[in-house]
Structure 1
Amino acid sequence: MVVRYVCGAVGVGLMGVGVWLIVRTGTFWDVLVWLVGAIVLHDGVIAPLVLAVGLLVAAVPARGVVRGGLIVAGCLTLVALPVMVRPGVPPNPTALPLDYVRNWLVLLGVVAVGTVGLVVGRRLYQRRRRS
C-alpha cells in the first residue's frame, strides 16, 4: 500500500515537472497538437486496424502462433518507426549508418517465415503423432 502511494506521488511529481517544462519553454501548442494527433491516430487508425486484424486472426486454426508473430512484428515496427520517419539527415551520419527500412523489412520477412515454419512444423508433428 505504501509503495502504491509513493509511486503515485512520484508520478504526479513527474507530471508537474513536465507541465513546468512545457510552460517554461513555451511549447504548449506544439504539445497540444501532438497529443491531439496521437489520440486521433490511435483511436481513428491503429485501434480499428488492430481490431480488424484480430477478427481475421480469430478464424485462423493456428491463431496462437499467428498472434505471436504479429506481436513480434508490431514490436519491431515500434522500435524501427521513429528512426524511419525521422525527417532529414541525422546530425552524425555514423550514428545511424544502416538502411532501417530495408532491415525492418528483412526482419519482418524473418518473422513471417518463422511463423509459417512454426505452423507447418506443428501440423506435421500432429499428423505424425496421430498416425
Structure 2
Amino acid sequence: MTERTPSGPFFWTCLVAGAGIVGYGLAGAWADRADTRPADLAAWLAGAGALHDALLAPAVVAVALATRWLPGAARLPVRLGLALSALLTVLFWPVVRGWGRSPSVPSALPLDYGRNLVVILALTWLVVGVAIVVRVRRG
C-alpha cells in the first residue's frame, strides 16, 4: 500500500488560509482577553473536544450501523434526516427550555418554541419521505 502525503497547491493554499484564520481568532481572543478569558475558552474547547469524542462520534457510528438494514434508497435520506434532527434539537434546545426568558422582558422568547421545533422536525421527515419515494421511483 502506498502512503499518501499532502501536496499540491490546493493543500498548501488551504493550510495557509486555515492557519491565518486560526491566528486571527487567537489574536482576537488575546486582545479581548478581559471578555474572552483565554483560560476558560481553552477549557471549554478541550471539554467540547472530549464531549465530541466521547458522545457525538460514537452516536454517529451507532446511527450508521443501525441504518445498515435499510434499503439502499432510504439509507442516505434517513441518515441525513437523523443528523439534521439532532442538529436542530441541540441548537434550539435552549430556547425550547426557555433559558434566557425573563419576566422583566416580555418580548424575550415570546413564541412557542417547542411546538415550532416539532413542526420543523415534522417537515424535515416529510422531506426525507419524499426523497425516499423519489429515489425508489428512479431506481
TM-score by length of 1: 0.67
Match in the other structure for 1:111:
124
Give SS of 2:32's match: helix
Tell me the distance in 1 between the aligned counterparts of 2:50 and 2:98: 20
Q: 1:50 to 1:84 in 2, by over 3 A?
A: same
| Alignment correspondent of 1:42 | 52
> Which protein has greater RCO, CA pairs closer than 8 Å, 6+ apart?
1
Find out whether 1:76 has 2:88 as its counterpart: yes
Give, in angstroms, the shift of residue 92 of structure 1.
4.1
- 1:54 has 2:56 as partner: no
Unaligned runs of 5+ in 1: none
**Equivalent residue, structure 2, for 1:93:** 106
Structure 1 residues 105 and 15, CA gap change in structure 2 (3 angstroms): same
Give the whole-Å Cα distance in 2 for the aligned partners of 1:10 and 1:115. Answer: 36
Between 50-59 and 2-11, the greater mean CA deviation after superposition: 2-11
Whole-Å separation in 2 of the counterparts to 1:112 and 1:26: 39
The structural deviation recorded for 1:14 is 2.8
Query: Is 1:65 matched with 2:100?
Result: no
Note the C-alpha offset of 1:115: 2.0
Residue type of the alignment partner of 1:19: W
| Number of residue pairs matched by the alignment | 125
Distance (Å, rounded) in 2 between the aligned partners of 1:85 and 1:37: 23
Structure 2 alignment gaps of length 5 or more: 1-8
